[in-house]
Amino acid sequence: MVPILLVLLLVLVLFGAGFALKVLWWIALAVLVLWVVGFLVRGTSESGSRGRWYRW
């Protein structure tokens, strides 16, 4: 009984990790798109401030 529970727990953890990683990839892709769009929009609208839209 215990080995079956351990296998089911392992499957559940791996499934959850795979789902979380897939969601993180989509979030990273969305952030990258927003960064590129913000860089392009700010870069064309403000030529005097070196075109940076972030404050680092």
Q: How far apart are CA 44 and CA 2, in angstroms?
A: 63
State the total domains in the chain: 1
| Domain-located, residue 14 | yes
| Domain-located, residue 37 | yes
Q: How far apart are CA 48 and CA 26, in angstroms?
A: 34
pLDDT at position 30, please? Answer: 92
Q: What is the mean pLDDT of each run of 10 residues along the chain (56 residues)?
A: 85 84 88 84 60 54
Distances (CA, A) of 11 to 1, 7, 20, 22, 52: 16, 6, 14, 16, 46
What's the domain range around 38?
1-42
| Domain-located, residue 11 | yes
> Whole-prediction pTM value?
0.56
